[in-house]
Amino acid sequence: MTAASPVKSSPLHVVSPLVPSNMLSVVCGQQALLKLENIQPSGSFKIRGIGHYIQKSTEKGCAQVISSSGGNAGMAAAYSSKVLKIPATIVLPMSTPSFMISKLKQEEADVLVHGEVWDVAHKKAITMAENKKCCLVHPFDHPDIWEGHSTIVDEILEQSTEAPAAIVVSVGGGGLLCGILSGLHRHGATDIPVVAMETEGAHCLRAALDAGKPVSIGEIPSIAKTLGALCVTQGVFDLKEGIQLSSHVVSDKQAVEACINFADHHRMLVEPSCGAALAAGYSGLIQGLKENNFIRKRGPVVFIVCGGNIVSMDNLIEWKKHFKIC
């Protein structure tokens, strides 16, 4: 029996398509499916968890949203606030591209740029949200956010004709990963392994797993800025028990190559943060995990196409030149 969804009210996210990828199926050596979260109203999966969190907060009396974000979480908070007709202020690090700031303003949010990295911006947001009627929206670290993100598992298990052989996901602070782990537990599907992908310089999960606890990586030189959390949430350690989790780090160049390949094969733009997950297929990593028996089932390998806000044609051309990609 399928587990009931934890999201009871009318959600702000849409049910995203689960579609086959011919090219990734070839390079993976078995069927590859794409969960297209880049088509969400706010441009990424973030609307699932953050929309759910804000809806629950307004039911408790929240009258204003304060959020800190490198882009995708801020877009989700701004979109949710606009739909729910409450004001929102988004605190952004200086690394946020100007076009993202424009997008947030188009969603009728007030924007404050503060600090070089997300952690500094978030401390500012905490100070601003001391008013009890304000709702502080963390980009990834709250059980209600994970609960919202877990709906992606509900949909995958309903849409796929057979149980996935693995789920491949990009990891920043760990909110989406916590949602997937939570969803697998809720459905009793803990036999489905999870492949967690990061880029060098934004590898806070890998650092945490190596240390046995969440630790700060100090700085984020990676181009994948929306993976840019200095420290992964403790929630990953709490929820990963009983589930096979394989953590891998790819270069920025590999992530960008995956974005370019994905654009060629599927005619969609995604950012390097999303490219980290896709690189697991294009780089041959999935084939290696099959050979090592981490992936054992014959079902489809599901890639979470997590979002594509911080990308443009100009970005792809610039990154292609920078990394000397032919």
Residue 160 belongs to domain with CATH number: 3.40.50.1100
Residues of the domain holding 124? 46-141
Task: Please indicate, yes or no, whether residues 53 and 167 belong to a single structural domain of this protein.
Answer: no
Task: Please indicate, yes or no, whether residues 120 and 226 belong to a single structural domain of this protein.
Answer: no
pLDDT in tens, 305-320: 998 788 889 999 999 9
pLDDT in tens, 274-314: 999 999 999 999 999 999 999 999 999 999 999 878 888 99
Domain end (from 118, 141, 164):
141
CA distances, 311 to each of 29, 183, 262 (Å): 29, 29, 13
Task: Please indicate, yes or no, whether residues 194 and 301 belong to a single structural domain of this protein.
Answer: yes
Number of domains observed in the structure of the chain:
2
Total-model pTM: 0.94
Average per-residue pLDDT for the chain: 93
Within a domain: 234: yes
CA 167 remoteness from chain centre:
13
Sign of the C-alpha dihedral computed for residues 21, 196, 259 and 310 taken in this order:
positive
Exposure string of 292-313, with b = 16+ CB inside 10 Å and e = fewer, is: eeebebebbbbbbbbbbbbbee
CB 178 within 8 A of CB 229: no
Distance CA 319, CA 151 (A): 33
Domain end (from 141, 157, 186):
141
Distance CA 197, CA 9 (A): 32
Alpha helices in 41-71 (DSSP H): 46-59
Domain end (from 141, 164, 198):
141
Distance CA 212, CA 2 (A): 33
